[in-house]
Structure 1
């Protein structure tokens, strides 16, 4: 998988600029990875097109269009492109971000918020250098205070043993290994495994595995894979069973995440 290191010295960090809000956009091919890094500013990451996965020290998020990830200042993270994607990033100084979400999360991007993000990105490192830009930035922050966090978060353990289990599940969501199988491979009792897993993730093993499978399914759906194939890849034997599980978890049917058809030609 191709990757690109992004460090504090990278110009995308924007820590040296006087504007309290800055923006940047970049196009990435499918399979591209932006290496683990962190910013001194808070960051709003939005995929205008395509699907990305954001992996942070505080969790893992699938980010389809119409959503964005908010990351607090200094939170380490990396970005994986599940498809070709245009990524917009708005960075905010910590003092300006004090009233923004106090946890890292996925938020809904309304049409207005999307336009504000695009406008901030167009102004680049000088968003707040004009009265218009200052107003635009203030409205963007106001919009970001409004949306409720979406349930697209997958907590990631800092325990290396549990992290290895989680990585195997996300890499192969249809595999059927049970908690006792993982416990045996780690030379611990099932009870000890469950205790370590819950302590590391804040979720029990079954809940976490279901969330991981369905978040992976969401990304595949947005990328255009047939629903039946997605259901089978997630370990479900039927389209209806998959649809019911998806709706219970996210409140929407899988079809709501299907890519919009292209507009008819004139």
Structure 2
């Protein structure tokens, strides 16, 4: 168990629908991290970009990318996380994978598929929220469009970190910034978002704006837009305890059940 956690946010461009090249690129970036970190976070669909051509890039849970994640986590002795296109039982999922150095794998399927791009026509929406327990920290991983839905992110599980991976486009980047900050404030947790940069095969542009906010909504990262950057942020359990004990806002939450 750790009172302090170091997390590497990898903001980068992606090669369109080319899992092999993206794995090579991320392998180099991950191995370039000289500082010991606990978690390395990659963007949404990090092997392909946000594609609706799922068949061309989908893998199984026994596929190359899952094996690569396990090898990478073991090699660098850090958890590695991000979402990929997974094929399972005749369906496609935008699946967040979290792989620990031990090889343990946890996953979350994106709940809110992005209807504006037709994601709901290609990918099956997830039905379960995931709370990870890692190094004494409770982490709630979510994916891109999930950010717009605060009820799904609501901190009823006493998590410490809300984590979003994304391909969030330039025209709505102000919403990304505002919602990441809001999720931190309303849930009294760290809120982290890792977004890509560049232009994808559908000619959609991305500027990054990856960030980490503390429980009061203060930005504690300094990640420039439109640049490939690996930023390491330091999280403190004492920071969470201090403000949750002093400001008992979570105890005043409305009570309700979410019907699926």
Name the structure with the higher strand share.
2
Structure with larger Rg: 1
TM-score by shorter chain over 0.5: no
Name the structure with the higher helix share.
1
Q: Which has the higher contact order (CA 8 A, sep 6+)?
A: 2
